Every structure is written in structure tokens, then in C-alpha cells.
Structure 1
Amino acid sequence: MLANNNQGVIRRMARRSLASSRRRTVIMGLAVALSAFMLFSVFTVGITWFHMYHLQNIRLAGGDFDAVMYGMTEEQREKCEENPDIDRIGIAAVAGSVLSTDYDNTVNVGCIWADDVYWNDIMAPARTQVKGSYPQEENEVMLTQGALETCGFEDMGLGIGDTFRALWQDGQGNQMEREFKISGIWEGYGSQNEFYVSKAFYDQCGYQLSEVASGRYFMTFHRNFWTQEEQTAFIDSMDLEKQQNIFFSVEAGYSIPIVLGLAGIALVTCLCACLLIYNILYLSVAGNVRYYGLLQTIGMTGRQIRALMGRQSVLVGGVGIAAGLLLGTGVSFFLIPSIVRFLGVRAKEAGPIEISFHPAVFLLTILLTGATVWIGSRKPVKLAVCVSPIEAAGYRPVYGGKSVRKTGKGGLLWRLALQQLTKDKRKTAVIILSLAAGFSVFLCLVTMIQSQGPRTYVSNFMDQDMEIENETMARADNRQWKDILGGDFLERLSDTEGVARVNPVLAAQITVPWEPDFADMWMREFYDMWMYIPYEDDLQEYKEHPENFGSFLVGITESDLDYLTDFVDAEIDREDFLAGKTCVLYRNSLELTDADVMGKTVTCGEYPVEGLAGEADAVLNEEALGNTCSFEIAGLTDESYFTGPMLGCPPVVIVSEQAVREFTDRYYVSKAAVQYKESYDEETESAVLSLMDASPDAKDFSYTSRIREAETVKSAQGNMMEVGIGVAAVLAFIGILNYINTVIGNIQSRKRELAALESIGMTDRQMRRMLVMEGLLVAAGSLLLVGTLGLGVTYVIYQSMNYMGADFYVPLWPVAGMAVFAVFICVLVPLACGRALMRGGSIVERIRAVE
């Protein structure tokens, strides 16, 4: 038999078939275009969100790095330089601190030396402006306007080239007056209260880079993904000393869970696209079954039908993909930024909405959309090929289920609506699944966006809105301490309009006399962890003069005890703690467990005022120690909030505030946690700040504020939240279009059935009510899926990306709005389609219609 090349005929038939069925062709093209549009928009806006997420982490960390190591020996440095995974290492080393100036005697600004890699490469992305140059001479400094204000120079107008004097303390504790010259001023993100100094300055500061207290080694890696096992292996390979530690950044430490979470969102997106294309093609083929059967009667083979439908899919798919890419480009680059600005959600600090783009997005969109068209068309093509000419001639849609049904209970319209949904369970499943998939992605993204909001990042400890500290207690000479937070100020703070509660933290300086059971064990562990000299070198001095080793007795309120118990593994007897019988110790990173200290007794001696101690030479100076008291140790905590202004060698002893008051009258309010009646209340915050400014000791206050922290995070995030809103809006819109398209096709295929119902007496009103009930049932099924399976997937993805440890919760108003909108769409679309159907001719014409 001679081969007959009929490809030209098939091509012409494909074009003519598409042209003759313009309506169906347009619907198929729109399906492909919407799928390409959805994928392109999600990838483009998703990449933008990921870039903003990366930028946010850089700004919050103050630099672009993957891990930081505290202290590094020469051997460890050689290992890092030889490690092929490490791209670069930058150094930022502590070089002492500025304690005071002529304009503020409670400055406490750190001095940092940064090498070229850290300053020029790692830190550069977190800076927004640099004037001048990095210090080269010993007395030069690079600083921020914030650091100048901290030093009390805000009204002096200091600039590049100006000098100022300050009291500086080196690594050995020596203090000296120094003159600094401003070589540059920078602005940006990260810590602002620091002086960046030259290498010449660092060389005479008394620190070594190998010391944990000074050296900070910031590393970036070639690889972007690190498993927990790989991180642990890298840390083990460095042979860390007891004091050293390595911390991975958010992206390096949680890179794989974050990427898996984003991949899950992309997978659901592709599922939505596949459902959309499958729906359209299936309905199109089902409506053309007679046509394909008749083609077989004139000799067309199954292979030729496959080629014909394949040619149609290529033509429609090519045009649809091109249209989808153009539409996606317009939406991603123009519409989303315009919508976001119109909604007014862009912060002034965020700058313009910039959409990131990568050429691979075009290729990936084309490949995924093409694959989706192929997958979605396999079943319809099989249906067209398998139908015989005889079956096609009398083809009517056949639904599963019983042909004879018993009379049911309940309203007739409800039974008809439910029967319609159960006749073709596969089609109903597709309808419900397509809508549920879109809204599940919306639920997931809204929850993720809410979790990434500024208010999640800021400290929420004890639900406090502001924490005020007494900076005078940071001075080494305790004779210069002042109780600026106590007495009248605390009362006025509590009486301020809008303030709900003030929790003061009392601090009294103490010493812990040597004894062999607990104190000796603690000091040995402390020296092993933090000191560079053997414990035996200071043991005799500690035995004879414990007053030379100071610490703090910290008193907390009863409400603070509720929070403290969350940070102690052991069970605390509330009554004994409040009665002053037991205490909790701050662990201070020592390798001690609750079992090592529980049940032991710690003795506290009242610390003398500076200058009264050290007069006895050979024996314990009872007069210098003053009165003593003992507490049974109930456990250990790592929460640094419950500590004094400074950390000494002996432990910080945390007790009830009443125990501190009974022990000594030389106590101070070291800090106070302020909670507002309404969180993030700007007016209350302004009133509290005015109260501090009006105090004669205004310069001696320092504070942290949730409002200010949220503003910093919001500025660091840029337009990340707005881009996330764009992603959620696009996916929700596509899910709705998917549902609309499915319902239109479903009602189109039921023309004859609905006309038959009209012919036996169903009124227009009853028809509309039945369609509304069908929509409500679809909405109920979709929301049930969203509330179960969708919520479960959201929880898994949320927890995989929840490196902040924020509690999982579903945003109420966005989700409630989504549910109401889903019900509205499910009701409105069938109504609109049914109304258009009733205008499509008389009942007889619709019953006689073949398609």
C-alpha cells in the first residue's frame, strides 16, 4: 500500500475546525492564556517577593552573610580559607567602647574595626548612604547620625572633619580620654550605635581576634541550601573551643524548609492550571463527540484524529501561551504595582514597587503550560478516539448512578440541586477542587504574609509595648548610680493616660561568698567558659575578698513570674518563690543543668558602696559584705531579660521583688516594662516619651519600643508585603476564573436538561433558586476542603518556613472576606449563566438542540 501524506489536509481541517467553532476556540485559548498568565505572574511576583525577603534579612542582620563565628584561631582560619564551600570571610572586631562624653555620661557606644571584606562586601547591601571614607588613622571614626545623638551631639552639627572628645574603655578595662575625628558618616540598617575605627586603633585596644569577646567572623557560602545535618557537620569540623560558637543566618539555616514551602505553593498553582485546561478541553471534546464520530465514518483513523486534535492544541496553545505571557507581563510589571499603590498599602520608606524578572521565567512558563496542555488533553483525546460512529450519532452525556431513584425527603429544589452534583461525581469533584485549590493558595499566602509582618518580627516579650532602662547602672562606679526610674517617676508613668500596666525590675548589687558546695562549682564552670586565666589564679582572692566579685539580686513582680516560668524547665513552687524561699539563676551560657543546681543553696551578701570593700586582707570581710541571706535554687533560665544591668562572675539571682525589699534598702529599679491599654498606641507612646524628656535625667534613660521596632522592620522589608499581596490577589483571581469557566461549561452541557425541567412546569424563579442552591452546595464543599485539607497544607508550609517561632493563627478578616466572597461568586455565576441560557431560544429550540 502506498503511503498517503495527509498532514496538509489535517492542518487545514484543524484551522477550519477552530475557525468554525470560534466560540469554543476562544474559550480554549482563554483557558491556556489564563494558565500561562497565572504561572508567569506567580513566578515573576514570587521571585520579586523572594528577592525582597532576601533584602529584608540583609537589612535586619546588617549585612549579607550566611554564618557568623565568635572568635577564630589561626588553625580555624586556615580551615575556612581552604574550605571550598566558603566564598568569603569578613571580620568585624570589638575594639572597646565609648562610655561618656561631655554632653552625656551614659553613652555606652561600641567601637568596631571592620576589614575590607566586611565593610565593602558584606555590610554594603545594608547601607543606603556613605559620605567620607573609612578610617585609616588611629583617631578617625566612621559613624551614623544616630551614634552622634546617642553621644549627646545632636545639636552641635558635627560633620566630616570635626573632632570630639570621649571617655573610652579598652579590652583590659582601662579608661582614658580620647579625641576622635569624624572621617565619614553612613546611614542604613543594622546597629546604629557603633563607631567604626581603623586597624591602627584596634591594634592598641587590648583585644585579640581569637577572643570570643572581640572577633566576629562573617562567612558567606557558595551553596544556598544547607540541611541541619550539614550545618552540624560544618560546626563539628571547626573544632570549636568551649567559648566559641557558630550561628547560621535565617536563609542559610532555614533555606531548605523555605524553598520546600515555596515549591508547595508553586505545585498547587500548577494544579490549578491543569484543572483549568483539563476542564475546558474535556467539555469541548464532549460537545464535539458527534463531530469526531462522523469523521470516522468517512475514513479518518484514530491516529489521524489524534493528529487533528494535537494540531488544534498546538495552535490554540501557542496563541494562548503568547497571550498569557503578554498579559502576565502587563499585570506583573504594571497592574500589581498600580493596584498596591491605589490601595495605599505601600509604606513611604519602601520606595517604588519593583518587579524582579528572570529570562528563565519565560522558558519555565512555556514548558509548564505546554506540559499542562498535554496532560489536560490526554483524557479528552482518548474520549474522541474511542467513540464509535454509531455511538457518536446518538451521543448524549451519560452520568453514573442509578437510573431509577426513590422519592427523597426534603425540599424538591434542594434534592434536584444535590442530585445534579452527584450525577457526575468526577465533574463535581473538578469544580469543587478547582475553587478550593485557588482559595487554599490564597489562605496559605495570606497566612504567610501575616506571619512575615513587622509585628511578628518585633519583640513580643511579656506583651510589653516599651522597655525603659536605667543607664546610670551601667557605670562601673556604683556611687554614680541613680534611681531615676523609682519613686515619683514610676508613679507618674503608671498614671499616664493609656498605660495599662508597669512592671518594674528591681536590682541590688550583691556578692556570693565562696563555699565548696555551690559557689565553687559555679565559679569553676564560669572561668572555664568565659575567662582566659585559670580559676586557681583567682581562687584565693575570691575566698578572702568575695566583694571583689560582684553580681546582682534581681526582684521581679508576680506577673513577671508567670513569664519567667515559661523559660525555666523545672517546676517552680509559686508560693515559695513569692515568699522569698527559692530563686532562679541566670545560666549565662554555662554548661550546667537544672539537676546540677536544684536543691542547692546560694548565699547573697549585700555589696558595699565603691571604696568600702577590700580593707581586710587575710579573712572574709564580714563588715564589707554587710547582711546576708540564702535562697534555695529552683532552676536555671536563659532569658536575659531577668538579669541585672551587668553580668559578673557569680550568678545573677532572681527572686521576688518583696525578697529584694526585705534584704536591702539599697536597690534600684533597673528597668520597667510598660504595657499599653491598646497595643501600638502612638498617643500613649508619645505621652511616655514626653514624660522621660521632661525628667532632669532624660539623657540617662534608654528604651526599646515595639512601635519603633515595627517601623524599622517595615522599612527593612521594603515592598515585600505588597508583592505578597499581589501574589495572593492573582491566585485568588485565577481560582475564581477557573470556577467561572467550569460552571459555564457545566451549564452549557445541561441545556437540554434544564429546558426539559422548564417544559414540565419549573418556573424561572424555581430555576434560579435551584441554581443558587447548587452554588451554595459547591461553596460549602469548597470551603470544607479549604478548612480541612487546605488548612492542613497551610499549616505544614507555615511551620516549614516559621523560623521566627511565631504562633500559627489564621488571619480572621481576610479569611472571612474570602469565605463571603466565595459564597457570593458560587451563587452569582450560576445565576448569570442560567439567565443567559434562558435567553438562548424557546424551550422547544433548546430541547431539539444537539449541542
Structure 2
Amino acid sequence: MLRNNNQKVISRMAERSLKSNRRRTAILLLAIVLSVFMLFSVFTVGITYYKMFQLQNVRMSGAKFDAILYGLTDEQREMCETDPDITKTGICAVAGAIQATEYDDTVSVGLMWADDTFWKDMKAPARKWMKGNYPKAEREILVTEQALEACGTPDLTVGDTLTAQYIDGTGQEKTSEFQISGIWDGYGDQEVFYVSEAFYRQCGYQLSDAASGRYHIDFQQKFMTAKEQEAFIESLDLGKQQRLFYTVGTGESIPIFLGLCGIALVTCFCAYLLIYNILYLSISGNVRYYGLLQTIGMTGRQIYGLLRRQMALLGSVGILAGLALGSGVSFFLIPSIVQFLGVRQEGIGKIQVTFHPAVFLLTFLLAAVTLWIGSRKPARMAVAISPIEALGYRPSYGRKKSSRTAKGKLLWRMALEQLKKDKKKSMVITLSLAAGLSVFLCLITLIQSQGPRTYVSTYMDVDMTIENDTMKKEDHDQWRDILTDSFLGEIRDDPQVKEVHPVLVSEIMIPWEPEVADVWMREMYATWMYEPYEENVEEYKEHPENFGTFLVGIDETDFAQMQKGLGKEIDREDFLSGKTCVLYRDNLDFTAEDFAGKSITCAEYGKGENIRSFEIAGLTDESYYIGPMLGMPPAVIVSQKAVEEWNVSPYVSKVSIRYQEAYDEAAEQDMIALMEDSPDAKDFSYASKIHEAENVKDAQGNMMEVGIGVAAILALIGILNYVNTVLGNVQSRQTELAVLESIGMTDRQR
């Protein structure tokens, strides 16, 4: 057969073929539009979601950084400042803590100094507003409204003075008058006063102190593997007291990014299945047409060119329409959808979808490649058809099998037989729907994992924890038992309260002995102290009362929760009966095996003759059990029964509360009112799961709303994808359906 060069004729045939088969053309065009729409929406809104995730991490951390180093040497600072992979470094160091004001004697507000890089660059994304200036003079402070309220002075403003008692780096208590140079509001720790560099230089702390120096590092590389993180830590040659921690964003950036890439790949797969299936159905329905074209002199290459031109025409129109539709939905419909669903929070602001020109190019390229790959096999199938085969062509459904009339509903059996006739077609339709649903399910899981409740870290998932702040004072004579039985009884009597779990504490001594106490104190001094243990070991032996700690008593419910984090099973009955105890590890380099079979001896504070020993059953890292303050000897956690039987004048230091319904605001208000009505109202502090969840929502901004918008789009696309595929399948079976109608099948049965 001679080859005819009829390119113009082929172009006209491609246009006429599309016009003459408008229904099939419309189905194919819709498939392309949906594919482009899927890709553009996933890329645009996915990038928006990822940026919102990064913004959330900045707000939760209180500044923009990737890692924080506790304690800083001059060599480490020089190394980081000359490292080309580090864009900026900033310092925010502890300078002391406010302990009391003339209006409240149980204040817990930190004093921090921030250098220019940290405050002006790293802290800027986490600030909402600021009035005044950062402190320059030695007695100037920068405050927040929350910190002023904690001091009992909520009405102070810029220019006012505040007299406060504070403790510096040497442990000395001092009283000074501070002038407010500025007020700010934003994200991160709010109960902090920022001080000047001049104040920090005389506060007794140094940047090399792990208890003070906070060196914030922002890397140029935003995706760091665990191996790269470990390599950087090793390069710093950290001292025993130093610690380096990476932010959540740095640790989770790669999984989140790979997750979004996976969603994009599955979306491309959905688009491929959609285009391939529609083209396959279209060509299989026109086998005779393509076969007979060869009888008039058209070569296989020209038939391939005909199909390629059809795809080019459909692709150009479909891609442009898909980009336009995706732009409209991403930038206009998503905000409307989430507002209609009622999930937009006050104060978050208008939802802003991130736009990047590269998204258009990437979507165009992926759509074009998907269209080309999806059309190759159907086009080869059309080229392979000979004129003789085309004349007698009937769809091939594999090997025919004889069958007898079976029992059961006829329509269901016919539907099942149709699925079995062309297993490949059925598989493509099923895969198309399954892929779309998989993307939807993955995204919903991702959204839920980033929900505010996931970030709420209140211990035991309780709704509120109330603490006795008088026990945070250095002077033990000022301790008062304000969480009395009557106060706890009022909490229990509230019908909206389900559980109440008080924690008993009593100050104790750990007498020196070589097996446990000496081993513990040596590691404690090596890890946290700046003087050698040998200088104080004799004092510890002779005066253990100078090294006090706490005996902490917990109930059965608290024990069950603590057990989950121990990493080993300990005998419940032995613990509850008072035979065994658990020690708070305090980040020391110990394991439970180091103290296996050993006992710790405890003595009532100031009364060395009142002694009791407990067998050490394990170590815990849960700071909820450290008591009001952390001593150098270990905090000893036992059952409440053990504390009560050993008469050592216990206090209730804190109480955790669980409501009948989680996040019950009415119950929350009852608890707050109970504290406010108490004569000791200023001596209470509390942590609320509701407040923490609100802070997380505020930090997340529009992230959850954007995620819901993406999920809604994918759900719609999945449905349209399946409907479009089924329509194409029905269109290819018009002859078969007509035969069924001729033998009496009704429209409803079809």
C-alpha cells in the first residue's frame, strides 16, 4: 500500500471526527479537564497546605528556626556563623525569673534576653503587634499583656514602672524597679519579660550555661534526614550538659513533603486511568472506522497521526479549561466551601491560597505527558487493525464458557457477567475509583493528624490541671495547703466532672549511701551542675537536708498512665501497696537496669530518724511527677497509700480533672469560677486543654480550612471521575443495550 502525504486532509478529518462524535468528544474532553483540574488543585492547594504547616510550626515554636542548642561555647558559635549551610543564628537566653510583685507573691514569669537577630528576624513572623521598643537600659523590660496579668498588674502600659522580686543566675533574690519600654503580642511563650543585654551581662548567667544559653539555628536546607541531623550534632562536639533539639517542622518536613508528592503521583495515576479508559473505549467502538480508513490508502502512521491530532486538539482545549477551572476553584471556591461548612475560626483571617507560576508549567507538562502515555496503547491498537478484521469485528471478551440458567436475580447475574466479559475494562474502572478514594483517605488522615487535639499535650489528656503555686516558693514556711479536701470535694460534686486525681507531695531527704544516692548525685553533677561533685560530697553526707527532693504520691489511674511510658511492665500490686517506687530520670544517662534489685532510702525532711526504703521498679521521663520543684536527688514516685501510711505531712500540689464530655466549656467555667471565688485565688495556676487547643488553632491559621477544601475537591473529583468512566463504558455498549431493549428489557432494568 502506497503512503499518501495528506497532512491537511488528516487535520480536517481530525476536526470533523471530533465534531461528528460530539458525545464521545465531550466525554473525552471532560476527562482531560478533570485530570488537569485534579493536578492543578493538588499542586496549588497542596503548596498552600505545606506553607500553612510551616507557619504553624513557626507559631508553635514562637520564632522561625530549625534547631535550638542549650548552652553555647565560643567555638560552636564561630563554627555555626561560618557554616554556609546556616542562614542565620540568634540568641535568646534565660536571665532569671520574677517570683513576686507587690500585687501577687506567687508569680512565675521568666526573664529573657534576645539579641537583634533573634528579635528582629527570627521572632518577627511570630509577632502580631508591638508598641514601644526593645529594652536598651539595664532596668527596662518588654512585656506581654498575659505576663502583666500573671504579675497582678494588667493595667500597666508603656512608660509605667513595676517593682518585682526576682531570682538571678546566682540564685540570689533581688528586688528592683523596672520600666516598661514596650508591649507585644504574638505566639510562643507569653509569660516572659524580655530584658536588655546590659541586664543579662550582670545577671550571673553565661551563654555557655545549659540552663541559660539558647542558640537558635536556621538552616538553608529545609529538608534534613535523620542521618544529616545526627551528623550536624556530632560536628558540634556537644558537652555533657549541652543538648540540641530540632523543631517539629525540621523533623517532619520530609514525611509531609513526600506525602504531598505521593498524593500528586496518585492523582497523576487517576488522570492516566481516566484518559486511557476513555480512549480505549472510544477506539474499540470505532474499530471498523479505523480499519476501513486503510482501504482508501491511509497508512498506519497516518492513522496514528490522526489520533495524535485529535489528542492535540482535545489536550490544548482541555488543559486550558482545566487550568481555568482549577484557578477558579482554588482561589475562589475553597474559601466559600469552608465558610459554608462553618469551620472558619474567628481571628484567623481570610483564606489565602498560595500561587506559584511554576504550578502552571508543572501542571501543563504532567497533563501533556499523562495524555501522551494514556493515548499510546489505544493508538497502537487502532493502527494494528486490518481492513479484513475490521469488517467482522466484534468486541472480544476472552474465552466463552457455556453456562446453564442459574438461580437468583437475573439483573444482578447479568451485571456480574458484564464485569467478567471485559476484565481489563472492569479493572481500569475499579482502579480509577480506588485511586481517587485512596487520595481522599490519605488527605483526610493527614488533616486529622494535624488537628488541634493532636497537638494538645496536657498530661493524660485530662481537661484541666490545677496547681498550688505556694509550693514553688523557696521559703517552706510560706507553703499553704490550698487544695484542701473541701475544695476537692466541690470539684467532685460538680455533675459535669467525671474524674479527679490529686497528686500528693512531701519534701524528703535522700541520705548518702554508695549504691544509689552517690551514683545518682555524681551523674546529676556531671550533667547539670557547674561545680564538681567532690566539692559538695562531704556536705551531702553530713547535711542531706541541704539537698532536698520530693516524695510524690499518685493514685491508681495515674499509675496506669505512667506505666505506658516506662518501657517495661512493673508489678501493679507491689507499687500500689507501697513496696516499690519509680524515680524521675531528669534526662540523666541511666537505665532501669542500672538500679534493678536496688532500694532507695528516704527520710522525712529535717527528721533523719523517720526513714523508709522503697525498691526501685523503674525510671520515668514524665515531668508531671517531679513535684513543685526539682531537687538534685531523685524525685521518688510512690502510691498515695504509701505517702499516707508514712506520716510525712503531705500537701496536694496539683489535681487533674477530666470532664464528663471532653472540651466542655461549661465545666471549664465552673472550675475557673471555683478558683476565683476562693480566698487563695492568686495562688492557683492551671493548664487547660481547651485553652491549649485554642492556641493551636490560632497558630495553625487557615491550615485546617485549606485541608478541608482539598479534601472536598478530591471527593468531587473522585465521583466525577467514576461517573465519567461509567458514561464512557455505557456509550461503547449502545448496540448491546439496544439488543436488550429489543427483547423486552425496560429502561429501568437497563
TM-score w.r.t. the length of structure 1 is 0.86
- Residue 97 of structure 1 corresponds to which residue in structure 2? 97
- Residue 634 of structure 2 corresponds to which residue in structure 1? 651
* Map 1:545-624 → 2, pairs under 5 A: 545-608=543-606, 624=607
SS of the equivalent of 2:347 reads helix
- Residue 753 of structure 1 corresponds to which residue in structure 2? 736
Q: Please tell me the residue identity of whatever aligns with 1:308.
A: L
- Structure 1 CA distance for aligned equivalents of residues 251 and 448 of structure 2: 22
Q: Please tell me the residue identity of whatever aligns with 1:689.
A: I
| Residue of 473, 476, 493 corresponding to 1:478 | 476
**How big is each residue's C-alpha offset from its partner over 1:637-671, in whole Å with a ceiling of 9 and x where there is no partner?**
11111111111111101111121122224211011
Q: Please tell me the residue identity of whatever aligns with 2:290.
A: Y
Q: Percent identity over the alignment? A: 64
- Residue 127 of structure 1 corresponds to which residue in structure 2? 127
- Structure 2 CA distance for aligned equivalents of residues 675 and 508 of structure 1: 25
* Map 1:495-506 → 2, pairs under 5 A: 495-506=493-504
- Structure 1 CA distance for aligned equivalents of residues 403 and 389 of structure 2: 26
CA contact (8 A) 2:68 2:216 kept: yes
| Residue of 218, 221, 224 corresponding to 2:219 | 221
Unaligned stretches of 5+ residues in structure 1: 609-623, 769-851
The Cα shift of 1:462 comes to 2.0
- Structure 2 CA distance for aligned equivalents of residues 401 and 709 of structure 1: 65
- Structure 1 CA distance for aligned equivalents of residues 321 and 131 of structure 2: 48
CA contact (8 A) 2:510 2:548 kept: yes
* Map 1:259-408 → 2, pairs under 5 A: 259-408=257-406
- Structure 1 CA distance for aligned equivalents of residues 739 and 167 of structure 2: 94
- Structure 1 CA distance for aligned equivalents of residues 743 and 31 of structure 2: 36
| Residue of 519, 526, 529 corresponding to 1:528 | 526
- Residue 449 of structure 1 corresponds to which residue in structure 2? 447
Q: Please tell me the residue identity of whatever aligns with 1:717.
A: Q
- Residue 54 of structure 1 corresponds to which residue in structure 2? 54
Q: Does 1:679 align with 2:662?
A: yes
Q: Please tell me the residue identity of whatever aligns with 1:68.
A: I
Single out whichever of 334-343 and 361-370 deviates more from structure 2.
334-343
Single out whichever of 584-593 and 395-404 deviates more from structure 2.
395-404
- Residue 690 of structure 1 corresponds to which residue in structure 2? 673
* Map 1:660-809 → 2, pairs under 5 A: 660-765=643-748, 767-768=749-750
**How big is each residue's C-alpha offset from its partner over 1:157-200, in whole Å with a ceiling of 9 and x where there is no partner?**
21111111000110011111111111111111100000011100
CA contact (8 A) 2:163 2:177 kept: yes
Q: 1:303 to 1:442 in 2, by over 3 A?
A: same
CA contact (8 A) 1:607 1:626 kept: no
The Cα shift of 1:20 comes to 2.5
CA contact (8 A) 1:465 1:706 kept: yes
The Cα shift of 1:711 comes to 0.6
Q: Please tell me the residue identity of whatever aligns with 2:309.
A: R
CA contact (8 A) 2:4 2:297 kept: no
The Cα shift of 1:329 comes to 0.5
CA contact (8 A) 2:24 2:728 kept: no
| Residue of 610, 625, 643 corresponding to 1:627 | 610
- Structure 1 CA distance for aligned equivalents of residues 458 and 385 of structure 2: 66
The Cα shift of 1:684 comes to 0.6
Q: Please tell me the residue identity of whatever aligns with 1:485.
A: L
Q: RMSD of the alignment, in Å?
A: 1.5
Q: Please tell me the residue identity of whatever aligns with 2:705.
A: E
- Structure 1 CA distance for aligned equivalents of residues 307 and 198 of structure 2: 77
- Structure 2 CA distance for aligned equivalents of residues 396 and 243 of structure 1: 80
Single out whichever of 750-759 and 443-452 deviates more from structure 2.
750-759
- Structure 2 CA distance for aligned equivalents of residues 571 and 397 of structure 1: 66
Q: Does 1:242 align with 2:240?
A: yes
The Cα shift of 1:270 comes to 0.8
The Cα shift of 1:632 comes to 1.3
Aligned length: 750
CA contact (8 A) 2:45 2:710 kept: yes
- Residue 146 of structure 1 corresponds to which residue in structure 2? 146
| Residue of 194, 201, 207 corresponding to 1:209 | 207
- Structure 2 CA distance for aligned equivalents of residues 538 and 228 of structure 1: 40
- Structure 1 CA distance for aligned equivalents of residues 591 and 746 of structure 2: 79
- Structure 2 CA distance for aligned equivalents of residues 131 and 482 of structure 1: 39
The Cα shift of 1:5 comes to 4.8
CA contact (8 A) 1:570 1:634 kept: no
CA contact (8 A) 1:235 1:246 kept: yes
The Cα shift of 1:30 comes to 1.6
Q: Please tell me the residue identity of whatever aligns with 1:467.
A: T
- Residue 73 of structure 1 corresponds to which residue in structure 2? 73
| Residue of 171, 190, 193 corresponding to 2:191 | 193
* Map 1:505-516 → 2, pairs under 5 A: 505-516=503-514
The Cα shift of 1:255 comes to 2.1
CA contact (8 A) 2:509 2:604 kept: yes
**How big is each residue's C-alpha offset from its partner over 1:466-511, in whole Å with a ceiling of 9 and x where there is no partner?**
0111111110001000111122111111112201111000010011
| Residue of 535, 538, 549 corresponding to 1:537 | 535
Q: Please tell me the residue identity of whatever aligns with 1:748.
A: Q
Q: Please tell me the residue identity of whatever aligns with 1:742.
A: T
- Structure 1 CA distance for aligned equivalents of residues 352 and 8 of structure 2: 48
Q: Does 1:467 align with 2:450?
A: no
CA contact (8 A) 1:110 1:195 kept: yes
The Cα shift of 1:626 comes to 5.0
- Structure 2 CA distance for aligned equivalents of residues 581 and 31 of structure 1: 71
Q: Does 1:7 align with 2:7?
A: yes
Unaligned stretches of 5+ residues in structure 2: none
